[in-house]
Amino acid sequence: MIKLQNVHKRLGGRAVLAGFDLDIGRGETLVLLGRSGTGKSVTLRHIVGLMQPDQGHIEVLGSDISTLKGRELMKHRRRIGYLFQDGALLNWLNLGDNVALPLRENMLCSASEIEDRVFKVLSQVELEQHADKLPSEISGGMRKRAGLARALVCNPEIVLYDEPTSGLDPISSSLINRLIDDLKSSTQITQVVVTHDMASAFEIGDRIALLHEGKVRALGTADEVRNSSDPAVSQFIHGRIEGPLAREPLPEPQPETETDEGSDPQQKENIQ
Amino acid sequence: MVGWIREFGAFLRRTSTTAGFGLMLIWRTALVLPHALAPRRFRNILDLIFIYAIGALPVTLVVSVFTGMILALNTGLSLKDFGQEQMIGRIVAVSLVREMGPFMTALILAASVGSGVAAEIGTMKISEEIDALEIMSISPIKFLVLPRMVALTLVCPLMTLFAGVVGILGGILVSEFQLGVNWVTFKNDALLHLQKKDVYTGLLKSFIFGLTIATVGCTQGLITRGGATGVGSSTRRSVVVTFLLVIIIGYYVTWMFFS
């Protein structure tokens, strides 16, 4: 479903991904762990085609994502949902319109069907009563849940979550975790979750990958990771200061869109 | 010395890549121009025209009236020394329609609307909303740039017409009550000497200025990076760059038509 082979990426003169390999199967929920700056969000951006690798191969849903351009890339992206850290909702649209946006703009279904689908996904995240509110009128947790509803409204085959529970209260976190779990059991959605929340990682992950120095340092089921003899894994899951991961990585360079209009002109890009 | 040259080289490189990005933006927007007629996008454009025009209207009104008054007073007093104050109409009308109207309106729109566009799109960029649009297969050019570019390109000539009319009215007020030139004399002199060419050159200028303001605002917004500071820098740059471009483009358009 998702294959990353020998992916290299340098940002701001630093190797964020250095020979990164990962294979994620259909219907699998994979959790990406790692210290800040180890390339977790950059990995998600590569999967969705917002960034191109300097070297290596990325196959998503049977296509080499780095070769897709224009309409092909857009069509491909419709099969992928993405939950951003802060929801990335458009501030001038209410929650209902935000969630309906991809359906309306891509003219994927009729107005009544859009209404039904929006209500359904908003109900899933328990926001159906707040469809008329603007993002500025709700809490950060609600924004994140609305972002999740928007990621799910097009019935994607892959959902990518960038820290879905960070900054949330325990109840909202549990709601998101339950939703990810429900999606796993009720559909064949493939999910990749970047998180620092260890409890959440062990709860939702079929497999867990620990990233370190631009590579996958450890990969296995929750139990395998929990019982790993690798000192780096043990240090990370127990949050110990001393250990192989002690060296503070540089902050992850701000990811830049590379393929579309919003790009920095100093980067090579292809304005759509 | 070497460091200075390197910095200057980097500045040139940045400027040329940003300019290239802006020109590409115009080109890509032109390619999707027919989408402006799609009902949803068309409604969005009308909303923006309304918002931009209403937002800039009070400032344009005050600035234009007073510019007309200043123009009439300064030139009128000088002309009075030679007993030629009846020529005041042509000077105020031609200056406002051909040069001052488009120029003032462009500066007002650059400061009030262009900076807002840069800040709005810049904030969207740093809060990952532009990325979110792309992931949802929504082209930011069609969704964000096209409506703003069309709206500003239409608003600028409209506001220029308004500025010209109220500026001339300001000139008439001063002529009538301070210079002792009857408003009918003012009007007749203005209409006699104001040529069609003055009007369409002024409108053409304001059309180009509107496009410039929108392009610079959208470009600066889309290349924003680095959080709130980055948004501030983009907003400031959008105003400075637009001011410079408006003056330079204004000169060349006048030169093309009147030299």
Q: What is the pLDDT of residues B37-68, one digit of tens each?
A: 999 999 999 999 999 999 999 999 999 999 99
Can you give the pLDDT at residue A267? Answer: 40
A84 and B138: CB-CB below 8 Å? no
Which residues are A32's β-sheet partners?
A194, A209
Tell me the C-alpha distance between A85 and A91, whole Å.
Answer: 15
pLDDT, mean of residues A78-95: 92
What pLDDT, in 10s, does the model give residues B181-213?
Answer: 888 999 999 998 888 999 999 999 999 999 999
Nearest CA in chain B to A151: B136
Contacts of B131 in chain A (CB under 8 A): 45, 50, 84, 88, 257, 262
In this prediction, residue A254 carries a pLDDT of 54
Question: What is the average per-residue pLDDT within A214-228?
Answer: 87
Assigned token pair, B38: 């799609």
Taking alpha carbons only, the member of B89, B60, B78 closest to residue B176 is: B89
Taking the Cβ of residue A254 and every Cβ of chain B, the question of whether any pair is shorter than 8 Å is answered with: yes
Q: What is the predicted pLDDT for the residue at B258?
A: 81
Closest CA to A265 of B25, B80, B199, B92: B25
A240 in reach of chain B (CB within 8 A): no
> Using a CB-CB distance cutoff of 8 angstroms, which residues of chain B are in contact with residue A80?
135
User: Smallest Cα–Cα separation from A49: which of A22, A94, A79?
Assistant: A79
Q: How confident is the model at residue A271 (pLDDT cuts 50, 70, 90)?
A: very low
Interface test with A, best of B137, B149, B222, B231 (most A CBs within 10 A): B137
Who has greater pLDDT, A193 or A167?
A193
Q: What is the pLDDT of residues B133-184, one digit of tens each?
A: 999 999 999 999 999 999 999 999 999 999 999 999 999 999 999 888 888 9
Q: Please tell me the distance from the alpha carbon of residue A53 to that of residue A60, in angstroms, as a whole number.
A: 14
Closest Cα of chain A to B11: distance in Å? 12
- A23-31 average pLDDT score: 91
Query: Is the torsion defined by CA of A81, A86, A87, A89 positive or negative?
Result: negative
What's the count of helices (H) and strands (E) in chain B, helices before strands? 11, 0
Average pLDDT, chain B: 93
Q: How confident is the model at residue A184 (pLDDT cuts 50, 70, 90)?
A: confident
ipTM for the complex shown: 0.85
Are A88 and B145 within 8 A, CB to CB? no
Rounded mean pLDDT, A175-184: 86
User: Does A261 contact B140 at a Cβ distance shorter than 8 Å?
Assistant: yes
Question: What pLDDT digit, counting tens, does each position of B204-253 carry?
Answer: 999 999 999 999 999 999 999 888 999 999 999 999 999 999 999 999 99
Entry pTM: 0.86
Q: Which amino acid is at A174?
A: S
Q: What is the mean pLDDT of chain A?
A: 85
pLDDT of residue A250: 54
